[in-house]
Chain A
Amino acid sequence: RKEVEQDPGPFNVPEGATVAFNCTYSNSASQSFFWYRQDCRKEPKLLMSVYSSGNEDGRFTAQLNRASQYISLLIRDSKLSDSATYLCVVNPLTGSARQLTFGSGTQLTVLP
Protein backbone atom coordinates (compact mmCIF):
# COMPACT_ATOMS: atom_id res chain seq x y z
CA ARG A 1 0.00 0.00 0.00
CA LYS A 2 1.33 3.46 -0.89
CA GLU A 3 1.93 5.85 2.01
CA VAL A 4 -0.17 8.56 0.35
CA GLU A 5 -2.93 7.63 -2.07
CA GLN A 6 -4.83 9.91 -4.40
CA ASP A 7 -7.32 9.44 -7.20
CA PRO A 8 -5.18 10.18 -10.28
CA GLY A 9 -8.09 11.56 -12.28
CA PRO A 10 -8.09 13.19 -14.70
CA PHE A 11 -10.83 15.52 -13.58
CA ASN A 12 -12.23 17.58 -16.45
CA VAL A 13 -14.60 20.26 -15.21
CA PRO A 14 -16.18 23.39 -16.74
CA GLU A 15 -15.18 26.85 -15.59
CA GLY A 16 -17.06 27.86 -12.47
CA ALA A 17 -17.52 24.31 -11.23
CA THR A 18 -16.68 23.10 -7.75
CA VAL A 19 -14.29 20.17 -7.61
CA ALA A 20 -13.04 18.10 -4.68
CA PHE A 21 -9.93 15.97 -4.37
CA ASN A 22 -9.36 13.34 -1.73
CA CYS A 23 -6.29 11.74 -0.30
CA THR A 24 -5.58 9.08 2.32
CA TYR A 25 -2.36 8.46 4.21
CA SER A 26 -1.17 5.35 5.99
CA ASN A 27 1.06 6.63 8.81
CA SER A 28 -1.17 7.60 11.71
CA ALA A 29 1.75 9.40 13.40
CA SER A 30 2.03 11.96 10.59
CA GLN A 31 1.83 15.53 11.81
CA SER A 32 2.10 17.86 8.84
CA PHE A 33 -0.05 17.90 5.74
CA PHE A 34 0.00 19.98 2.59
CA TRP A 35 -1.40 20.40 -0.88
CA TYR A 36 1.11 21.25 -3.59
CA ARG A 37 0.31 22.32 -7.14
CA GLN A 38 2.43 21.25 -10.09
CA ASP A 39 2.00 22.69 -13.57
CA CYS A 40 3.05 20.61 -16.57
CA ARG A 41 6.84 20.22 -16.68
CA LYS A 42 7.28 22.62 -13.78
CA GLU A 43 8.31 22.24 -10.17
CA PRO A 44 5.81 21.63 -7.35
CA LYS A 45 4.73 24.72 -5.42
CA LEU A 46 3.05 24.86 -2.04
CA LEU A 47 -0.66 25.63 -2.41
CA MET A 48 -1.62 25.42 1.24
CA SER A 49 -0.95 23.67 4.50
CA VAL A 50 -3.75 21.59 5.99
CA TYR A 51 -4.79 21.94 9.61
CA SER A 52 -7.07 19.82 11.76
CA SER A 53 -9.54 22.67 12.09
CA GLY A 54 -9.74 23.04 8.32
CA ASN A 55 -8.51 26.10 6.53
CA GLU A 56 -9.55 28.26 3.65
CA ASP A 57 -7.59 30.44 1.24
CA GLY A 58 -9.87 32.25 -1.16
CA ARG A 59 -11.54 29.66 -3.38
CA PHE A 60 -9.55 26.80 -1.84
CA THR A 61 -10.57 24.88 1.29
CA ALA A 62 -8.53 22.09 2.85
CA GLN A 63 -9.77 19.63 5.45
CA LEU A 64 -8.02 17.02 7.56
CA ASN A 65 -9.68 14.07 9.28
CA ARG A 66 -7.08 12.43 11.51
CA ALA A 67 -9.36 9.62 12.64
CA SER A 68 -9.92 8.52 9.05
CA GLN A 69 -6.43 9.59 7.88
CA TYR A 70 -8.06 11.53 5.11
CA ILE A 71 -7.27 14.90 3.54
CA SER A 72 -9.38 16.84 1.09
CA LEU A 73 -9.10 19.89 -1.13
CA LEU A 74 -12.13 21.78 -2.42
CA ILE A 75 -11.83 24.29 -5.25
CA ARG A 76 -14.82 26.56 -5.77
CA ASP A 77 -15.59 28.62 -8.87
CA SER A 78 -12.77 26.94 -10.78
CA LYS A 79 -10.74 28.99 -13.26
CA LEU A 80 -8.88 27.94 -16.39
CA SER A 81 -5.69 28.78 -14.51
CA ASP A 82 -6.47 26.12 -11.90
CA SER A 83 -5.60 23.43 -14.47
CA ALA A 84 -2.65 21.56 -12.96
CA THR A 85 -1.76 18.44 -11.00
CA TYR A 86 -2.56 18.63 -7.30
CA LEU A 87 -0.25 16.70 -5.02
CA CYS A 88 -1.25 15.56 -1.55
CA VAL A 89 1.80 15.72 0.72
CA VAL A 90 2.45 14.34 4.19
CA ASN A 91 5.39 14.66 6.55
CA PRO A 92 5.39 11.21 8.11
CA LEU A 93 7.83 12.25 10.84
CA THR A 94 10.21 9.37 10.20
CA GLY A 95 13.95 9.65 9.81
CA SER A 96 14.97 13.27 9.88
CA ALA A 97 11.31 14.31 10.01
CA ARG A 98 12.04 16.59 7.07
CA GLN A 99 11.26 14.36 4.15
CA LEU A 100 7.96 14.99 2.42
CA THR A 101 5.95 12.04 1.12
CA PHE A 102 3.98 12.86 -2.00
CA GLY A 103 0.96 11.21 -3.51
CA SER A 104 0.99 10.56 -7.23
CA GLY A 105 -1.14 13.61 -7.89
CA THR A 106 -4.59 14.32 -9.26
CA GLN A 107 -4.76 15.96 -12.66
CA LEU A 108 -7.31 18.74 -13.10
CA THR A 109 -8.30 20.34 -16.38
CA VAL A 110 -10.73 23.26 -16.27
CA LEU A 111 -12.51 23.64 -19.59
CA PRO A 112 -13.84 26.89 -21.07
Chain B
Amino acid sequence: GAGVSQTPSNKVTEKGKYVELRCDPISGHTALYWYRQSLGQGPEFLIYFQGTGAADDSGLPNDRFFAVRPEGSVSTLKIQRTERGDSAVYLCASSLAGINNEQFFGPGTRLTVL
Protein backbone atom coordinates (compact mmCIF):
# COMPACT_ATOMS: atom_id res chain seq x y z
CA GLY B 1 0.00 0.00 0.00
CA ALA B 2 0.94 3.65 -0.26
CA GLY B 3 3.27 5.07 2.33
CA VAL B 4 3.37 8.54 3.85
CA SER B 5 3.62 11.18 1.17
CA GLN B 6 4.81 14.76 1.52
CA THR B 7 4.62 17.71 -0.83
CA PRO B 8 6.50 19.56 -2.05
CA SER B 9 9.69 17.52 -1.99
CA ASN B 10 11.72 20.72 -2.16
CA LYS B 11 10.79 24.28 -1.29
CA VAL B 12 13.01 27.32 -1.72
CA THR B 13 11.74 30.55 -0.26
CA GLU B 14 13.01 33.93 0.80
CA LYS B 15 13.46 35.12 4.35
CA GLY B 16 10.23 36.55 5.70
CA LYS B 17 7.90 34.54 3.44
CA TYR B 18 5.15 32.13 4.50
CA VAL B 19 5.29 28.43 3.59
CA GLU B 20 2.98 25.45 3.89
CA LEU B 21 4.17 21.87 3.91
CA ARG B 22 1.71 19.03 3.36
CA CYS B 23 1.62 15.49 4.70
CA ASP B 24 -0.61 12.61 3.60
CA PRO B 25 -0.42 9.81 6.18
CA ILE B 26 -0.93 6.12 5.60
CA SER B 27 -4.64 5.37 5.30
CA GLY B 28 -6.09 4.33 8.64
CA HIS B 29 -3.29 5.84 10.73
CA THR B 30 -4.85 8.09 13.33
CA ALA B 31 -1.57 9.37 14.76
CA LEU B 32 0.52 11.87 12.80
CA TYR B 33 3.84 13.46 13.73
CA TRP B 34 6.02 16.23 12.40
CA TYR B 35 9.78 16.24 12.90
CA ARG B 36 12.54 18.51 11.66
CA GLN B 37 16.00 17.28 10.67
CA SER B 38 18.95 19.60 10.27
CA LEU B 39 22.12 18.57 8.48
CA GLY B 40 24.17 16.10 10.50
CA GLN B 41 21.50 15.74 13.19
CA GLY B 42 18.76 13.28 13.96
CA PRO B 43 15.11 14.24 13.52
CA GLU B 44 13.73 16.54 16.21
CA PHE B 45 10.09 16.24 17.34
CA LEU B 46 7.78 19.15 16.56
CA ILE B 47 4.14 18.12 17.05
CA TYR B 48 1.89 15.08 17.37
CA PHE B 49 -1.75 14.74 16.32
CA GLN B 50 -4.20 12.11 17.46
CA GLY B 51 -7.11 12.49 15.08
CA THR B 52 -7.84 16.14 14.44
CA GLY B 53 -6.35 17.54 17.62
CA ALA B 54 -2.78 18.41 18.45
CA ALA B 55 -2.09 16.18 21.45
CA ASP B 56 1.44 17.46 21.95
CA ASP B 57 2.94 20.58 20.37
CA SER B 58 5.79 20.92 22.83
CA GLY B 59 8.41 20.66 20.09
CA LEU B 60 7.30 23.66 18.05
CA PRO B 61 10.20 26.13 18.35
CA ASN B 62 8.12 29.33 18.49
CA ASP B 63 4.79 30.82 17.47
CA ARG B 64 5.83 31.17 13.82
CA PHE B 65 5.19 27.44 13.49
CA PHE B 66 1.67 26.05 13.39
CA ALA B 67 0.15 22.79 12.16
CA VAL B 68 -3.38 21.65 11.44
CA ARG B 69 -5.14 18.41 10.64
CA PRO B 70 -8.76 19.49 10.15
CA GLU B 71 -10.26 16.19 9.01
CA GLY B 72 -7.98 13.82 10.86
CA SER B 73 -6.06 12.78 7.77
CA VAL B 74 -3.94 15.26 5.78
CA SER B 75 -1.87 17.67 7.84
CA THR B 76 -0.31 20.99 6.94
CA LEU B 77 2.68 22.52 8.71
CA LYS B 78 2.68 26.29 8.37
CA ILE B 79 5.68 28.52 8.93
CA GLN B 80 5.27 32.28 9.05
CA ARG B 81 8.02 34.88 8.52
CA THR B 82 10.56 32.23 7.61
CA GLU B 83 14.14 32.65 8.82
CA ARG B 84 17.34 31.16 7.43
CA GLY B 85 17.56 28.97 10.53
CA ASP B 86 14.32 27.27 9.50
CA SER B 87 16.16 25.57 6.64
CA ALA B 88 15.95 21.82 7.24
CA VAL B 89 14.19 18.67 6.10
CA TYR B 90 10.70 18.50 7.54
CA LEU B 91 9.62 14.90 8.07
CA CYS B 92 6.12 13.65 8.63
CA ALA B 93 5.36 10.26 10.18
CA SER B 94 2.18 8.35 10.91
CA SER B 95 1.24 5.37 13.02
CA LEU B 96 -1.70 3.38 14.26
CA ALA B 97 -3.14 4.40 17.60
CA GLY B 98 -1.37 2.89 20.56
CA ILE B 99 1.71 4.03 22.36
CA ASN B 100 4.32 1.74 20.86
CA ASN B 101 3.19 1.42 17.26
CA GLU B 102 5.87 1.93 14.64
CA GLN B 103 6.09 5.40 13.17
CA PHE B 104 6.41 5.32 9.37
CA PHE B 105 8.17 8.32 7.90
CA GLY B 106 7.55 10.15 4.67
CA PRO B 107 10.36 11.26 2.34
CA GLY B 108 10.37 14.76 3.78
CA THR B 109 10.23 18.28 2.42
CA ARG B 110 13.61 19.98 2.06
CA LEU B 111 13.05 23.64 2.96
CA THR B 112 15.68 26.21 2.03
CA VAL B 113 15.26 29.78 3.23
CA LEU B 114 17.48 32.21 1.35
Contacts and interface: CB of A to CB of B under 8 A. Distances in A.
Contacts of B44: 102
Nearest to B43: A102
B45 A45 contact: no
A1 interface: no
Contact of A96 (B35, B55, B102): B55
B94 to A, nearest CB: 11
Contact of B48 (A4, A99, A102): A99
A32 B41 CA distance: 21
Q: Which bracket fits the contact residues of B?
A: 20 to 34
Contacts of A91: 100
Interface stretch (B63-71, B74-82, B104-112): B104-112
A104 B103 contact: no
Contacts of B59: 99
B105 to A, nearest CB: 4
A44 B43 contact: yes
B42 to A, nearest CB: 3
Contacts, number: 53
Given A98-B56, A102-B42, A43 B106 contact: yes
A43 B99 contact: no
Contact of A43 (B33, B41, B48, B108): B108
B42 A99 contact: no
A20 interface: no
B107 A42 contact: yes
A4 B13 CA distance: 32
A97 B99 contact: yes
B26 interface: no
A99 B56 contact: yes
B91 interface: yes
B76 to A, nearest CB: 19
Of A45, A46, A89, A99, most B-chain CB atoms within 10 Å: A99
